[in-house]
Amino acid sequence: MKDSLRTGIAFGLTSAVITTLGLMVGLHSGTHSKIVVLGGILTIAIADAFSDALGIHVSEESKNIHTLKQLWAATIATFLAKFLFALTFIVPILLLPLSAAIVASLFWGMTILALLSYAMAKSQGEAPWKVMGEHILIALVVIGITHLVGDWVSNLYG
């Protein structure tokens, strides 16, 4: 059961950081609209949390090594981690001007990803800087691409 919860939480937090920040940055660069970014966060929190939870459920179920209780523990942990953590990105959007909120969200998300990566590396006996660097680099690549896509869409229809 402990492994199922760890799987769900690690997957949910990682997905929440990367997808929510990618969406936020892309929508910001494409629209510069606070309401659009806020709507995007809420959409990710709901739709992607359900999608990721089902994805973990099916993935773990396909291994045919887990009990039904373990499957549902991973499923629910994934949903709650993704849903609740994605919602934390609403706070800076509500409290700050949009550009400052994006910067604050990037700092918040990268901090959580770094802490999660550090804890995971330490528990596996790996070099934390290597795991943290790999995970943060991947997140930054996704965020960079979504920024460019937002700019591109804005130029097409702006």
Mark 2-19 as b/e (b = at least 16 C-beta within 10 Å). Answer: eebbebbbbbbbbbbbbb
pLDDT of res. 60: 86
Q: Which of 43, 82, 44, 76 is nearest to 57 (CA)?
A: 76
Domain holding 76, by residue range, is 2-157
More confident residue, 150 or 66: 150
Domain count, the chain: 1
Q: For residue 33, is pLDDT > 90?
A: yes
Of 151, 150, 12, which is closest to residue 81 (Cα–Cα)? 12
**Residue 60 has which token pair?**
């773990």
Question: Which ranges constitute the DSSP H helices of 32-97?
Answer: 34-43, 49-62, 68-88, 90-95
Task: Please report which confidence band the pLDDT of residue 130 belongs to, taking 50, 70 and 90 as the band edges.
Answer: very high
Enter the pTM of the model.
Answer: 0.90
In the predicted model, what is the mean pLDDT of the chain? 94
Residues 48-86 have pLDDT tens digits of 999 999 998 998 899 888 888 988 988 999 999 999 999
Is 6 a residue whose pLDDT tops 90? Answer: no
- pLDDT band for position 1 (cuts 50, 70, 90): low
Cα(24)–Cα(41) distance, integer angstroms: 7
Position 13 confidence tier, pLDDT thresholds 50, 70, 90: very high
Average pLDDT of 109-116? 96
**Pairwise pLDDT comparison (15 vs 158), residue with the higher score:** 15
pLDDT band at 3 (very low <50, low <70, confident <90, very high): confident
- Lowest average pLDDT, out of 2-6, 33-37, 90-94, 140-144, goes to 2-6
Cβ-based neighbours of 7, under 8 Å, separated by 6 or more: 56, 60, 74, 77, 78
The residue type found at 85 is F
Per-residue pLDDT at 158 exceeds 70: no
